[in-house]
Structure 1
Amino acid sequence: MNSVSAAIAGAAVFVWLGMVLAISFLEAPLKFRAPGVTIPLGLGIGRIVFRALNLVEIVLAATVAVALAVGGPSTSVAVLAVVVAVVLAGQLAVIRPRLNRRSDRVLAGERLPRSHAHWYYVVFEAIKTVALLVLGILLLAA
């Protein structure tokens, strides 16, 4: 893989990793502990934040894909990039719509029993985090 493509892809991967760690594993759980933040308020904030994160993730994924397409990645780099893209696609196409439907109901004032559906998103975030970390390390070594 050429060094310029590896540097661009690596930078995008580590920015992406930092954003996922900061938002998914720091901001999201902590916002509900802030004084005065109700479940509906937290859900409303979370939807805005995760919509923005997901848009940036799409841009970063495209940046990585173009850099890898130009740079001729190793098989392991290509496989990890595909894993990250598939996990992101699963979050965007399957998990987020289900979470949004539920949060729509809560924001409309419906009282629902506690749900553990967000844990699917967390599991996918954990998989994506590990894959991004390993991908970034491989790109640094390229």
Structure 2
Amino acid sequence: MDTGTRLAIAAAFVWLGMVLAISFVEAPLKFRAPGVTLRIGLGIGRLVFRALNVFEYVFAVVIAAALFTHETSTSLNIALCVAVGALLTQTIVVRPLLSRHSSAVLEGDEERRSKAHLAYVALELVKVIGLVWTGVELVGG
């Protein structure tokens, strides 16, 4: 196995670990911490998810660059496209909706719930599937 493939494997699994740790552990737990209000939790969430998304794009570029000179299987290409497509949809479509909603909450309008949050979580699950699939394809390929 060459260095580029090893780098792609590492990037895929670190990316997966970050998504699992932040989206499915940190995000829900921060609202249960003593003294963390909805306003504080949303403020923290904005910062954390903005940083996560930057790292995710870096990992996507690292994987693509590491595999650029390789012949890759259709299955690997689809798996990576699933993960990157979910990320693009989250950051281009869903996150602006969440930002508008969280801004309204931060300004005191806490009456309505956002369906965009459910879409974001669903896309996180799609991304996790894509990243697991990508990692398996890279290790097995």
TM range (shorter): over 0.9
> Cα offset for 1:34?
0.7
| Structure 1 residue ranges, 4+ long, deviating more than 3 angstroms after superposition | none
Which ranges in structure 1 are unaligned for 5 or more consecutive residues? Answer: none
State whether structure 2 residue 84 is matched by structure 1 residue 85: yes
Which ranges in structure 2 are unaligned for 5 or more consecutive residues? Answer: none
State whether structure 2 residue 105 is matched by structure 1 residue 106: yes
Partner of 2:69, secondary structure, is helix
- The residue aligned with 1:69 is 68
Counterparts in 2 of 1:26-65, with a 5 A limit? 26-65=25-64
1:41-96 per-residue CA deviation (whole Å, 9 max, x = no partner) reads: 10000000000000000100100111121222111111111111111100000000
State whether structure 2 residue 137 is matched by structure 1 residue 138: yes
> Cα offset for 1:115?
3.0
- The residue aligned with 1:129 is 128
1:125 corresponds to which letter in structure 2? Answer: E
- The residue aligned with 2:15 is 16
Q: Which has the higher contact order (CA 8 A, sep 6+)?
A: 1
Conserved 8 A contact 1:68-1:78: no
Identity, in percent, stands at: 50
TM-score normalized with structure 1 length? 0.94
> Cα offset for 1:120?
0.6
Deviates more, 1:87-96 or 1:3-12: 3-12
Partner of 1:109, secondary structure, is coil
> Cα offset for 1:109?
2.0
TM-score normalized with structure 2 length? 0.95
Pairwise CA RMSD:
1.2
